[in-house]
Chains A and B, each alone.
Chain A
Amino acid sequence: MTEPRTTADYLATGSQLAVVRDKLGATSPDDVEIFVIVSGDGRVTAFNGHVDLGTGIGTALGQIVAEELDVAFPRVTVVLGDTERTPNQGPTIASETIQISAKPLARAAATARAALLARAAERLAVPVSDLSITDGVVTPPVPDNRALSYGDLIGDDRIILRIDPEAPLKPVADYRVVGQKAARVDLPAKATGGLVYVHDVRVPDMLHGHVVRPPYAGVDVGDFVGTSLIGVDQSSIADLPGILAVVVIGDFIGIVAEREEQAARAAERLRVTWKPIPHLRDLTDIPTALRENPSTPRELSHRGDVEAVRAAVAQPMDRTYVWPYHLHGSIGPSCTVADFRADKLTLWSGTQNPHMLRADLAKLMGMDEGQIDIIRLQAAGCYGRNCADDVGGDAALLSRAVGRPVRVQLTREQETAWEPKGTAQLMEVRGGLDAAGDVASYDFSVRYPSNGAPLLASLLTGVIPPVPMVFTMGDRTAIPPYSYGALRATAHDMAPIVRASWLRGVSSMPNSFAHESWIDEAASVAKVDPIAYRLRYLHDPRAVDLVKAMADRVDWVPHTEPGTLGGEGDILRGRGFAYAVYVHGQFPGVPAAWSAWVADVEVNKTTGDVALTKITVGQDSGLMINPAGVQHQIHGNVIQSISRVLKEEVTFNQIAVETKEWGGYPMITFPEIPPIDVLMMDRQQEPPLGVGESASVPSAAAIANAIYDATGVRFRELPFTPERVRAGLEAAGITSPPAPMALPAPPPAKKRGLWAGLGLGLAGLVGIGTLALPIRSAMAPIAGPDPTLYSASTIARGKMLAALGDCAVCHTAEGGQPMAGGLPLETPFGTIFSTNLTPDVQTGIGTWSFDAFKRAMRQGIGQDGQHLYPVFPYDHFTKTTDEDLEAIYAYLMAQTPVVATIPANKLAFPMNIRPLMAGWNALYLKTGAYQPDPARSADWNRGAYLVEGLGHCSSCHTPRNALGAEIASQRYAGGVAEGWEAPALSSLSRAPIPWSEGELFTYLRTGFSPLHGPAAGPMAPVIHELQALPDSDLRAMAHYLASDLPPVSVEAEKVAIDTADARNAGAMLPSAGPGGRIFQGACAVCHAPTAPPLFGVKPNLAFNSNLQSASPDNLIRTILGGVPKPAVANLGPMPGFGPVLSDSQIADLVRFLRRQYAPGQPEWADLDKTISRLRATAFHAGP
């Protein structure tokens, strides 16, 4: 039997007892919402409109129902937030589920229990009061041994009852299920891959969609929203397979494809032009940005004459506290499957607010809510409003466009940039103390630019206008919990500056940061112990109990000034306290659990690093339904909030959100987790309180107060990064400023490409070329390849030699047939397309005789007598013996012919005059096969033959002159290949550990030297080809290349390794700065030698010559484009970070790497320019 889908399906089912409530505004008796169903087979199903955000509320609700119905917990299934089946209980916000929506559920279960008992009493003819129930079986008093199960009592009946508000609830003393640890019901499936998250929904006929977002990432107010698209160039993805539709509506762009990677690739590649986007308010200065944002004051509380008292205080204390933008930071970017059919939209969604999303979709799609069915599935923990709803709008539009179900997966960068942020917040206190040190006046105001984040698809398509909308949610815990003399609290309600919506601890966490920091500051001014000072103003008995219990728990030592915990060396110790009650819901709101923190910290006064050594957290949650679950929640709140307080901050560029991935938004990692001691107050007799957020709320102030206690310096702006703390300590004179950094290097000499400078010199060649040599004669064509001519072994040898010569590297176009040519080679005098080397008689070399081939390889002259351009390295190939040339010829002619017409070269005059190359040849070409040096070993000569001939190593690794010829006197001093620096292989190499013969061999053989690094850039395909060569040849090459290098001393190598270890360790320090944090979050997993093994190699950056180079180009190119195709499979790939890191983030990262790994080298100058140049030449910016 399939599971019932709708309320009607459920109610139509026989053999069950359902407890329902009339829907709001119901017009017929069938218009009901179900709360509990007891089935004839004894199973119980409970329904709740909220969703499990990963906090285990399904388990707790199941316990409540099991308790009130007297069944064992495993019998109960809980169905959460799903528009067709569950009651509309509003969005899952804050801590309301247990505190508010559990009540009708408990009452519904009690209604069912009472009804079943009444039936049993009648059947057994025993008064209800004499009956007892054990796991759904009703029994009369002993010795009567009759028994009736719920199933027996229901029989075949279909019973529908309204919730009885008077149904008796169990006294707490009788609880057997509630208050006990219940094993999480979801974990066995989650831990074995069986649970279907929204990301895992697959429906028949499903397609994959990706969206392309506008450049104003994360901004949703302003005329330009929905109106900035100029055009979409569909031809830019015309060559991609599997694309079914490109949907463009206003600024909404989506692509539907057969496969996910096809949609993803197309979204990356689609060329879109946008109008210029207006600048955003400067969010590097949050106080100014928020003060200037239009607002309306709303007085929340006013006691006494704040102004007058403030004017007369003995000790004025005006303070400003600043909260940054945070991410919800779900680990799984949002995803949805939508299925649009004629008059019905079905959505499989991870939304937090199914009923709200349904209304939004109705508007977007022009449908009735009744036509939309939202099936709610588990998503990644979101802790507020992320993109879960937005992606629903995207998927609905795409499904409608193609008439099939479409799954849309947002990318990490889309989720991060576009999720409605947890907003920045500004808290200002004007206050003061009287002469006795008591708080005389406290005038608090808050600015919270955040709202409900309207559905993005509706904004991008123009269905709703992008106008500022104000939500009044800045008032949570805006009134301090203390009974100050004169008090005023004002919320300056305002619309968002960037997309922002609720995030765990909504406005209360920042407000409490201010309240609890301020009272700590006041205590210090008044010279009173911070806890004692709070207790002066705290009168709520449960709050007082909690605060006192916490002081006992940590053996709090009363103190009136900072520094009492001392420290040693650079370390200063401190301990901070904070208390808060999270008030949620519509103002004045409902208090959730009380919470208090004691944070123990160690502040490093030189680096500014704040290490948490212990967090003690106490909570009064009232009745805890599942105490283990509550403890889990507290841990989660503590860890997430310390991450937010110490590390997290969204950054912006001039027009949009800059943060797009985790390197730029570091979250707490395992080694940073402090010991957490949880104190849970025993209040099982009290009503349950929300526990989902409370323990986050005191976090920031507790840590700020601890830092103050350690250092005597007050920090009023988050996050408490080492840079911020260090700067604060410096300003206070506690630590001295760092020694100045090395000066930037002079700008590097202008770069030359492989053929740069050629244009300059070519003018001179016009004379030489035309005068010196006439056009050469054509070679007679042959009829076609003769497969009988060469033996299989000759062909095999030719194949190997062709690999050494990298023929296929240049003569294969991207995605084309091997050796069929067509790869565009960029040169300063234009674009040259490589030729078709397959033996096709029309378009390839099928009619070339061996002599014609030999002349091309030796002299750079084609079959037709035309000169070839020396981008084809015939100046090296000329050294190849006749025998080897013949083998290569044999191999090429034995290939399957491919018809491939090569586009004409795009060269400008005079470079399009091929005879000029004759002049070049006259100057630089020494034709003829390699002549062995009798003074050298056979190995050396073999190596020289391979390296200098077909291997043509020096064509990249030797600098070239103005005419593009290798400079003989600077052999292997380093050159350029396809814009990459080909590092020096001579004694000029900057490798921290010089190359040795052994390492060269390892590198050539495996593509990776542990003491240098992997082959990347244009070297990767070279190594790939070299895999065809036997060890003996690679050893000979290594031997030859190393023969001019100085020997590597064991001691020098040891010193270099020790230095590298120290540099690597330093790179992982918390005080590594913004670039260092990007390294730690994005790079270290593969580059830190301490990181656990992962498929692929771990290139040690301390050994990498690119970081030592005069130019940052190779490093930047690798960061931008990654190494998508390693030379050898087991080296593993590197993803490109170009699409997700901004130019300034890459500059931070590169600057950090240079300082950290090449401290003796000057800083690279003009990084920003270099990065944008390289990005423009080679890589597209991401969405």
Chain B
Amino acid sequence: MRSVTLRVNGGQHALTLAEDTPLLFILRNDLGLNGPKYGCGLGECGACTVLVDDVAARACCLPVGLVEGREITTLEGLGTPEKPHPVQAAFIAEEGAQCGYCLNGMIMTVAALLARETQPSDATITEALRYNLCRCGAHVEILRAAKRAMQMMAP
């Protein structure tokens, strides 16, 4: 156990914990954030995606010790129902989810994509989402949402 300071959604959090604890558990259990979800713990599904310094990261297998001092953003930090981030707004408008368990990962992955590339091609979008799984088959609506987000954010 040691003390770790985490920067999450613009706030600072001092915690005492084992540094091999997966970041996901800290975000969910210590900070009470519901956006990132546990899906596999192996980096395979994307449900736990957060941004670390604006790059997507799979929080389920990211020991918290590795992200000390970095800026972590979760779905909650992206926007709120009143002031959604454009990617969130696009997913709501296109109904880019059924059960929505994968939704966090989809939104965060698209947000990371659009942060590094403003006009990705269709192939780039599908490739960026390839490693995010959805059992409900909401893929069509998710792709529409990604494209709508791209248009909304176009420079």
The docked-state distance in angstroms from the alpha carbon of A635 to that of B96 is 12
Task: Report Cα–Cα, A1125/B19, bound state, in Å.
Answer: 10
Which chain A residues (322-376) contact chain B, with CB distance < 8 Å? 328-333
Minimum distance in angstroms from B50 CB to a CB of chain A = 9
Assess whether B37 is in contact with A195, with CB atoms less than 8 Å apart.
no
Q: Please, could you name 10 A-B residue pairs with CB atoms under 8 Å apart, sorted by A?
A: A193-B34, A202-B29, A331-B102, A332-B39, A667-B135, A1093-B116, A1095-B62, A1124-B63, A1129-B68, A1133-B63
Taking CB atoms, residues of chain B closer than 8 Å to A191 are 75, 84, 88, 91-92, 97, 100, 103, 107
Q: Which of A298-306, A433-441, A668-676 forms contacts with chain B?
A: A668-676
Quick check: A640 and B136 within 8 Å, CB to CB? yes
Q: Residue-by-residue, is A185-218 near B (CB-CB < 8 Å gives 1, otherwise 0)?
A: 0111111111111011010000010000000000
Question: A residues touching B (Cβ–Cβ < 8 Å)?
Answer: 53-56, 183-184, 186-197, 199-200, 202, 208, 241, 259-261, 328-333, 378-381, 383, 409, 411-412, 628, 632, 635-640, 643, 661-663, 667-671, 673, 676, 1081-1082, 1084-1086, 1090-1096, 1124-1126, 1129-1130, 1132-1135, 1137, 1140
| Residues of the A chain whose Cβ atoms lie less than 8 Å from the Cβ of B40 | 412, 661-662
- Classify chain B: how many residues form its interface, as a range: 35 or more
- The listed residue (B34, B66, B142) touching A1126 by CB distance below 8 A is B66
Q: How far is the CA of A818 from the CA of B21 in the complex (A)?
A: 20
Interface string of B34-55 (1 = CB under 8 A from A): 1101111111110100001001
Whether the pair B56, A661 counts as a contact (CB closer than 8 A) is: no
> Which residues 45-84 of B have a CB within 8 angstroms of A?
45, 47, 52, 55-58, 61-63, 65-68, 74-76, 78-81, 84
With the chains together, A192 CA to B85 CA distance in Å?
9
A378 and B34 alpha carbons, distance in the complex (Å): 13
A1016 to B76, CA, bound (A): 35
For A192, give its contact among B79, B116, B132 (CB under 8 Å). B79
Output the nearest chain B residue to A416 by Cβ-Cβ distance.
B40
Q: What 4 pairs between A and B have smallest CB-CB spacing?
A: A54-B99, A639-B137, A193-B35, A1095-B57
Contact with A1095, one of B25, B55, B123 (Cβ below 8 angstroms): B55
Residue among A194, A260, A669 making CB contact with B29, cutoff 8 Å = A260
Interface centre among B32, B47, B55, B99, by most A CB within 10 Å? B99
B81 engages A192 (CB within 8 Å):
yes
**Shortest distance from the beta carbon of A97 to any chain B beta carbon, whole Å:** 14
Would you call B134 an interface residue if the criterion is a C-beta within 8 Å of the partner chain's C-beta atoms?
Answer: yes
A628, B132: Cα distance in complex, Å: 24
- Roughly how many angstroms separate A670 CA and B96 CA in the complex, as a whole number? 13
The chain A residue with its CB closest to the CB of B29 is: A260
- B: residues with CB less than 8 A from A are 1, 18, 20-22, 25, 28-29, 32-35, 37-45, 47, 52, 55-58, 61-63, 65-68, 74-76, 78-81, 84, 88, 91-92, 95, 97-104, 107, 109, 112-113, 116, 123, 125-143
Give the docked Cα–Cα distance between A637 and B130 (Å): 19
Please judge, given known A-B contacts A192-B76, A635-B138, A670-B143, whether A187 and B98 are in contact too, CB under 8 Å: no
Once A636-B98, A671-B130 are accepted as A-B contacts, the answer to whether A188 and B39 lie under 8 Å apart by CB is: no
**A194 in contact with B34 (CB, 8 Å):** yes
Q: Quick check: A636 and B34 within 8 Å, CB to CB?
A: no
In the complex, the chain A residue whose C-beta lies closest to that of B120 is A1092
**Neighbouring B residues of A186 by C-beta, 8 Å:** 100
A380–B135 Cα distance when bound, in Å, is 9
A1096 contacts across to B, CB distance below 8 A: 57
Are B38 and A632 neighbours in the complex by a CB distance under 8 Å? no
Give A193 to B75 CA distance when docked, in angstroms.
6
Please report the C-alpha to C-alpha distance between residue A200 and residue B123 in the assembled complex, in whole angstroms: 34
- B39 / chain A contacts, CB cutoff of 8 Å: 331-333, 412
A19 to B102, CA, bound (A): 37
Central interface residue in B22, B95, B132, B137, by most chain A CB within 10 Å:
B137
Contact between B81 and A667 (Cβ–Cβ < 8 Å)? Answer: no
A193: nearest chain-B partner, CB-CB: B35
* Inter-chain contact A381/B109, CB cutoff 8 Å: no
Is B47 in contact with A671, judged by CB distance below 8 angstroms?
Answer: no
Alpha-carbon separation in the docked complex, A261 to B57 (Å): 19
CA distance A54 to B95 in the complex (A): 12
A611 to chain B, nearest CB (A): 14
User: Are A199 and B38 in touch, CB under 8 angstroms?
Assistant: yes
Closest CB-CB distance, B27 to chain A, in whole Å? 10
What distance in Å separates the Cβ of A666 from its nearest Cβ neighbour in chain B?
9
Contact A670:B126 (CB < 8 A) given known A55-B98, A202-B32? yes
Known A193-B34, A199-B37, A669-B133: A259·B25 in contact at CB below 8 Å: yes
Residues of chain A contacted by B113 (CB below 8 angstroms):
1092
Instruction: State whether B103 touches A1095 (Cβ < 8 A).
Output: no
Contact status B84-A195, CB under 8 Å: no
Question: Would you call B43 and A1086 a contact (CB within 8 A)?
Answer: yes
Complex interface: chain B residues within 8 A of A188 (CB): 81, 84, 92
A residues within 8 A CB of B57?
Answer: 1094-1096, 1132
C-alpha gap A632/B140 in the complex (Å): 9
